[in-house]
Structure 1
C-alpha cells in the first residue's frame, strides 16, 4: 500500500484470524470492498493482516458467515494516539504551559545596558526609554523596533551626538557618543596655510604661524596666507600654521523651475495587514482583501520571536499601506522665481561649511521659456578660505 499516512489519520487495526476457512474469509473481505494489507501467515491456520478502523463493523459481519475467529491485536493511528494523549492530558498541559512561559519570558526585556554615557546622560536616556515603554518586564512584541528607538533617543536628547541600539536576546545594548566628549589633541606636522579660492580678506584669526596677508587684500588660489616659518632671519622655527582666514568669495548659480510641478502627498487613508512569517512564507492573520488604493506606499515592520537565546524562524509582520494622491501645483511667474531663488540658496548652502554665511545676492538674469523659469544669481559669501599645505623642512618663504 502506497499512501499509509492517509490510513494513519483514519486509524489502523491489526487483525489475527484463526480457522480452516481463512482463504475464503479473505476473498469475502475483498469482494465486500474491505481494504486489507500486510497479510502474513503464521502457521497453517493463523493469518494476520491490517484493515482501516472504519471497516471493523464490516469485518464482523463477514466473520459470522465463516468458520474463522478473529482477534484485534493492535490499534494504531491518530484516533488511538489522541485517546492516549487525553489520558495523559495533565502532563501535556503542563509541558505546553512550561514551553509557553519560557517562550514569553524569552521575548521580554530583562536588561538595558548603556555604555559610553556619563551618569547624568544615562539617567536621561533611561527616562526617555521609560517614556517609550522600553523597560524591564515589557514584552518586546509591543515595543518599537531598534531603528525607531535609536532615532527618538537621538532627536529627544540633546546631550548625545549618536546612539546605537542593538537587541541581543532579552537585552537592549546602547552605545552612546556624547556631544561634550573631550576632543583628542590634534597632532599636526609643519605646514603653511594657503588660499583655496580667490577672494578679498575680511577677517583673520591666526593661532600659530606668520600672517602673510592683511585685511582687504585680494588673494588668488594657492597664495600663501599664513607661513609655518616664524622668527627672525637666522633664528627661524618651523611650526604647523593654524588659523582661520575669512574672505569674501563669489559664486554664480543657475536654477530652472517649472511653472507646473507634480508631486505625491499622503491623504491619511491607510490599511493594516498582519502576517505570521514562517521561514520564507507569510501567513495572513488579519487585514484580508485587496488594496483598493490606486497609488500607495508600503511600510513593513518585522518582529522576530525568540526561545531562550535562539531566534526562531517565526516572526510577526505588520504591513501598513498608506494611500497617496498626485497633486499638481501651478506657479505664477513671480512664485516660480521665488521658488527658484530658494532652491539656489539651498544649493549654495550645501556647498559651504557651517561657519560660512551669505553676505549678499544679485539676480543677473531671469527668463520664462517653454513653461519654465530660469534664474542666474550672483552670491557674495563670507567663508574660511584657508587650507593646509605641508611645509618641507628647509623650504624658504
Structure 2
C-alpha cells in the first residue's frame, strides 16, 4: 500500500471468502474497479483479503452469481474507531474538554515581569498594560502584539527611553531603560559660576558667593558671574558659588517649506483576511473580498499557539489591507510662511532646556524660491546661563 494512512482513515475490512467460484469472483471485482489487496489462500475453496469499507456493498453484489459466501474477520480504520468511541462518549467528551482547558491555560497570561526601572516606572508600565488589556488571566491571542505593546508604552510614558517586550511561554517580560535624569546635587567643592554663552543678564539670585556682574550687563562665554571668593581683602574665604543667573540669549533658525506637497493618507477603509497556518498550508476561515483597493498598505499580525511547554505548528495570521490615497496639499504664500514659523519654533523648543522660555521672535528674511518659501527667524530666549567652574588652588 502506498498510502497506509489514507486506508486507515477511510476504513477497511479483512474478509474471508468461501466458495468454488473464487477466481471468477476476483475477476468480477477487478472488472467493477473494486480494489482488493493482501490476498491469501487458506485452502482450495477459501481465501482472505482486504477491501475498503465503501466497497463492501459492491462486493456483495458481485458475489450473487459466484456461489461464494463472505465473512468479516476484522474491522479497521477511523469509521470504526469513531463508532466505538461513541459508545464511550463520556470518556471522549471528558478527554476533549481536558485538552481544551489545558490549551486555554497554556495560552493565558500568568505573569508579567517588569525589570530595569524603579518602582514608580514599574507601576506606570503595569497600569498602561492594564489599559490595553494585558493583565493576568487574559488570553494571549487576543492581546496586542509585542511591537504594538512597545509602541503604546513608549508613546504614553515619558520617563522611558526604550522598552523591550517579549513572550516566554505564559510570561510577558518587559525590559525598561529609563531616561537618565541629571542628579541635582549641591556641590561642596570650591567653584565659580561663569557664563556658558553670550547673553544680557535679566535676573540674578545669588545663594552663595560674590556677584561680580549686574542685571542688564552683557556677558560673553566663560565670563565670571559669581565668584567663589568672599570676604575682605586678606580675609577671603573660598566657597562653592551657587545661584540662578538668567539671561537673554539669541537663536537663529532657517526653515524651507514647499508650497505644494504630495503624500499618502489613509481613507479609513480596510479589508481583513484571517488564516490558520499549519506548517506550509494556509487555510482562510474569514475574509472579505468586497473591498478591493488600488493603493494600500499591508499589515500582517501573527500569533502562535502553545500546549503546555510546546509551541504548536499552528499559527493564526491576520492580514489587513488599509486603503490609502494620494493627497496634494497646496499652501498660499502666507500659509507657507506661517507653517515655516511654526516648524522653526518647534525645532527650537526641542533644543532648549526645559526651563527656558521664548521671549520674542522676529522674521529676519523671507523669500519664495522654486515653489518653496524660505523663512529665517530670530528668537530671544530667557534661560539659565550659569555653569560651575572649579576653583583650582593657586588661582
Shared fold by TM > 0.5?
A: yes
| Mean Cα deviation higher: 49-58 or 188-197 | 188-197
* Counterpart-to-counterpart distance in 2, 1:102 and 1:21: 57
Gaps of 5+ in 1: none
Alignment correspondent of 2:351 = 351
> How do 1:60-71 and structure 2 match up within 5 A?
60=60, 70-71=70-71
Per-residue deviation, residues 2-23 of structure 1 (Å, max 9, x unmatched): 2233333332222345678766
Deviates more, 1:34-43 or 1:363-372: 34-43
Q: Provide, for residues 219-256 of structure 1, a one-character-per-residue CA deviation record: whole Å limited to 9, x for no partner.
A: 323334445566676764464x5443322222222222
**Alpha-carbon separation, structure 2, partners of 1:316 and 1:32:** 46
2:100 is aligned to 100
Structure 1 residues 256-296: Cα deviation after superposition (integer angstroms, max 9, x where no partner): 22222334444443444444455686643323216523334
Distance 1:189 1:96 in 2: 75
RMSD: 4.9
CA distance in 2, matches of 1:91, 1:38: 35
Work out the CA distance in 2 between the residues paired with 1:107 and 1:96: 17
Q: Secondary structure at the match of 1:269?
A: strand
The residue aligned with 1:2 is: 2
TM-aligned CA distance change 1:277 to 1:32, over 3 Å = closer
Q: Distance in 1 between matches of 2:281 and 2:56?
A: 41
Cα 1:258–1:82, aligned 2, differ >3 Å: closer, same or farther? Answer: same
Report the Cα distance in structure 2 between the residues aligned to 1:142 and 1:29, rounded to whole angstroms. Answer: 56
Structure 1 equivalent of residue 217 of structure 2: 217
- Map 1:263-278; keep pairs closer than 5 Å: 263-276=263-276
Distance 1:238 1:92 in 2: 86
Which segment is superposed worse, 140-149 or 324-333? 140-149
Q: Measure the CA separation in 1 of the matches of 2:269 and 2:335.
A: 31
**Counterparts in 2 of 1:189 and 1:86: CA distance versus 1, 3 Å:** farther
Secondary structure in structure 2 of the residue aligned to 1:293: coil
CA distance, structure 1, for counterparts of residue 225 and residue 25 of structure 2:
116
Q: CA deviation at 1:218?
A: 2.6
Residues 118-133 of structure 1 aligned to structure 2 (within 5 Å): none
Give the secondary structure class of the aligned counterpart of 1:353. Answer: coil
Separation of aligned partners in 2, 1:249 and 1:271 = 54
CA distance in 1, matches of 2:276, 2:71: 48
1:348 Cα shift?
1.6
CA-to-partner distance for each residue in 1:199-232, whole Å, 9 max, x for gaps? 2222234445554543333332333444556667
Residues 42-92 of structure 1 show CA distances to partners (whole Å, capped at 9, x for unaligned) of 678765432222333444466666687653322212222222222222221
Give the equivalent residue in structure 2 for 1:288: 288
Tell me if the contact between 1:256 and 1:372 (Cα under 8 Å) persists in the aligned partners. yes
SS in 2 for 1:337: helix
Which shows bigger deviation, 65-74 or 106-115? 106-115
Deviations 1:98-149 (CA, angstroms, capped at 9, x unpaired): 333444455567789999768xx989x87x9988777877666666668878
Instruction: Give the alignment of 1:38-49 within 5 angstroms.
Output: 38-40=38-40, 47-49=47-49
8 Å Cα contact 1:238/1:393 also seen in 2: no
Structure 1 residues 46 and 346 mapped into 2: Cα distance closer, same or farther (>3 Å)?
Answer: same
Query: Normalising by the residue count of structure 2, what TM-score does the alignment of the two structures yield?
Result: 0.72
1:378 aligns with 2:391: no
Matches within 5 A, 1:175-254: 192-227=192-227, 236-237=237-238, 239=240, 241-254=241-254
User: Secondary structure, in 3 states, of the residue corresponding to 1:197?
Assistant: coil
Distance 1:145 1:187, change over 3 A: farther
1:342 corresponds in structure 2 to 342
Q: CA deviation at 1:352?
A: 0.9
8 Å CA contact retained: 1:117, 1:177: no
Could you tell me which residue of structure 2 aligns to residue 55 of structure 1? 55
Change in CA separation of 1:3 and 1:175 when aligned onto 2, cut-off 3 Å: closer
The DSSP-based 3-state class of the residue aligned with 1:214 is coil
Structure 1 window deviating more from structure 2 (203-212 vs 183-192): it is 183-192
The number of equivalent residue pairs is 388
Cα pair distance change 1:287/1:218, threshold 3 Å: same
Q: How does 1:82-93 map to 2 (within 5 A)?
A: 82-93=82-93
SS of equivalent to 1:343: helix
Which deviates more from structure 2 when the two are superposed, residues 69-78 or residues 353-362? 69-78
